[in-house]
Chain A
Amino acid sequence: MEHNTKVLIIGSIVAVLLQIILAPNIMLFSVMPNLLVVYSVVVSMLLPGRSSVVVAFVLGILADCLGFGPFGAFALLLLIVSFVARKLMEVYGGAGLGISLLVMAVLILIVEFSYAGIMMAMNDVSPLNAFVYLALPESIYDCGCGIIIFPLMHYLLVPARSSIGVSTPRPHLH
């Protein structure tokens, strides 16, 4: 099995377990991070391709199963965002860590606010409640977690020989 595939599988399992075990215990102001969304977005940015599409779908389905919102909603949104991530990283992929984190934040905002819109449409929820009390603080919390997860996954996932726009590859350590 390829190194990246192993990392993806193990990372997905860890993300799911952390979402169930850790996330409810690190709530701030009644908001907890959605680590499945963060992980899926990060993988879509770092590994644009079939793998990230599969990860987005599987983690989206699991996120839908862990909650009681519309089944398939997170999967749909994460798949769309995986496509958007691929396109954005084709343009900004070599721009540096800061720009990449900004792109990650935008993608997370898209997912969370879109999900808030779906919940608003399916339940009688006011925009204030959905967007201001939940989607926005959860997005901020997700971005905070992403600042940790993105560099970690970048270190674990991407072999230096397939770098783009970089003149000096990372030396292999034996």
Chain B
Amino acid sequence: MPRPLTVDNSSSSQNPNILLVILLVISLVLVIAYGREGDNGVLHSIQTGVSTAFLPAKAVSGGVSSAENSAQDQLSDATANDSTLSGLRDQNEQLRNEISQLEQYRQEAQQLQGMLNIQDSYQLNGVTAHVLSRPSESWDQQITLDRGSDDGIRSGLPVVSSGGLVGQVTSVGPNSCEVRLVTDPDSGVSAMIQSNHGTGILRGSYDGLLYLEGVDDSTEVNEGDVIVTSGMGGVFPRGIMIGTVTRIENSQGASSRRIVVTPNAQVDVSDVVMAVNSMGNDGDASASDSSQSQ
């Protein structure tokens, strides 16, 4: 006989309504207080503190992510058919030849790097870190890094990867920090179209894309245009790659033009990023930049 669906009302005699009202009032007060206090308020600090307290669990999550990626690779390998294997053997041979040639280039590049001193030219200083975990909720586009204030990271620092701008440090603990990604709707980056220096504000959204707003109506924008940081405002150094224009809705000159940008930097667990403390170009826009409407 199937087990009947039942509901336990044995505690209903204790009348939870009073407790419910009390907790509702507390919750409402918390929401209002959170909205009114600044980023350094008590409730914000509690959020950061709890996030730090759950760091070990987030590290385990990172381990699960790595194991998942590894399992996917192994499954893909295990189910590879003959044509895939044949293609892989050809590719392997080709890669061996390329490696030999690249080794030669590498040695040459080392010598050139020594002469040009590339790193000193950009004067990029910062703290490298690994991505510890992905966002814990769908609503939050924030990742956790395994470095914190003990390593010199502070709130507000821009974070970059090999692909370009990743986001900005929002909260810092002793050994970890949270980074708001550029795709977070709360994120706003002063950006520039690399080809014509047209400026605007790049905002994130929940669909994972970026939208370039405030671009002058007369500024020409084309699909494929590279978007970089403009350096205005002094938060993000100038010239850091952000993404590429993938779609323009409505035409140039229309006040309702929507410029859709796909972010270039895609970070995952264990990826290396850098929280930038300083850069040779301190973010001040040059006089030749077009005026920006924000």
Contact A79 B206 (CB under 8 A): no
Please tell me if A47 contacts chain B, counting CB pairs below 8 Å: yes
Q: Which residues of A contact B33 (CB under 8 A)?
A: 71-72
CA distance A119 to B184 in the complex (A): 12
Which parts of A93-107 form the interface with B (CB within 8 Å)?
Answer: 93-97, 100
Given contacts A75-B23, A160-B6, contact A67 B136 (CB under 8 A): yes
Contact B186 A129 (CB under 8 A): no
Residue from A25, A69, A154 whose CB has the most chain B CB atoms within 10 Å? A25
Residue from A57, A62, A79 whose CB has the most chain B CB atoms within 10 Å? A79
Which parts of B1-34 form the interface with A (CB within 8 Å)?
Answer: 1, 3-12, 14, 16, 19-20, 23-24, 26-31, 33-34
Contact B136 A126 (CB under 8 A): no
Q: Which residues of A contact B24 (CB under 8 A)?
A: 76, 79-80
Contact A46 B7 (CB under 8 A): yes
Bitwise, A92-129 to B at CB < 8 A (1) or not (0) is 01111100100000000000000100010011111001
Q: Which of B8, B9, B16, B57 contacts A17 (CB 8 A)?
A: B57
Task: Considering the complex, give the chain A residue whose CB is closest to the CB of B205.
Answer: A129
CA distance A104 to B186 in the complex (A): 31
Q: Which of A48, A124, A170 contacts B12 (CB 8 A)?
A: A48
Task: Considering the complex, give the chain B residue whose CB is closest to the CB of A166.
Answer: B4
Which parts of B86-125 form the interface with A (CB within 8 Å)?
Answer: none
Closest-CB distance, B244 to chain A (whole angstroms): 19
Please tell me if A144 contacts chain B, counting CB pairs below 8 Å: no
Task: State the interface size on chain B (CB cutoff 8 A).
Answer: 59
Contact A24 B7 (CB under 8 A): no
Q: Which of B29, B30, B61 contacts A20 (CB 8 A)?
A: B61
Contact B64 A68 (CB under 8 A): no
Q: Which residues of A contact B222 (CB under 8 A)?
A: none
Q: Which residues of B contact A62 (CB under 8 A)?
A: 50
Interface of A is mostly: helix
Please tell me if A158 contacts chain B, counting CB pairs below 8 Å: yes
Closest-CB distance, B177 to chain A (whole angstroms): 13
Given contacts A49-B11, A82-B20, contact A115 B205 (CB under 8 A): no
Q: Which of B12, B65, B185 contacts A24 (CB 8 A)?
A: B65
Contact A25 B57 (CB under 8 A): no
CA distance A69 to B47 in the complex (A): 10
Contact B16 A50 (CB under 8 A): yes
Contact B61 A133 (CB under 8 A): no
Please tell me if A21 contacts chain B, counting CB pairs below 8 Å: yes
Bitwise, A154-174 to B at CB < 8 A (1) or not (0) is 110111101110101010000
Q: Which residues of B contact A158 (CB under 8 A)?
A: 6-8
Task: Considering the complex, give the chain B residue whose CB is closest to the CB of A130.
Answer: B206
Closest-CB distance, A98 to chain B (whole angstroms): 9
Contact A125 B20 (CB under 8 A): no
Contact A75 B5 (CB under 8 A): no
Contact B138 A69 (CB under 8 A): no
Please tell me if B78 contacts chain A, counting CB pairs below 8 Å: no
Closest-CB distance, A52 to chain B (whole angstroms): 8
Task: Considering the complex, give the chain B residue whose CB is closest to the CB of A65.
Answer: B50
CA distance A82 to B243 in the complex (A): 44
CA distance A48 to B12 in the complex (A): 7
Q: Which residues of A contact B140 (CB under 8 A)?
A: 67-69
Q: Which of B9, B12, B47, B65 contacts A71 (CB 8 A)?
A: B47
Contact A32 B61 (CB under 8 A): no
Contact A65 B46 (CB under 8 A): yes
Closest-CB distance, B93 to chain A (whole angstroms): 36
Chain B positions within 8 Å of A, measured between CB atoms, are 1, 3-12, 14, 16, 19-20, 23-24, 26-31, 33-35, 43-44, 46-47, 50-51, 54, 57-58, 60-61, 64-65, 68, 133-140, 142, 170, 178, 180, 185-186, 203, 205-208
Contacts A50-B11, A71-B47, A134-B138 aside, 19 further interface pairs with beta carbons under 8 A come to A21-B57, A24-B133, A32-B137, A45-B7, A48-B16, A49-B11, A49-B14, A50-B16, A71-B30, A72-B31, A76-B27, A79-B23, A95-B5, A123-B185, A126-B205, A129-B185, A133-B207, A157-B8, A163-B6
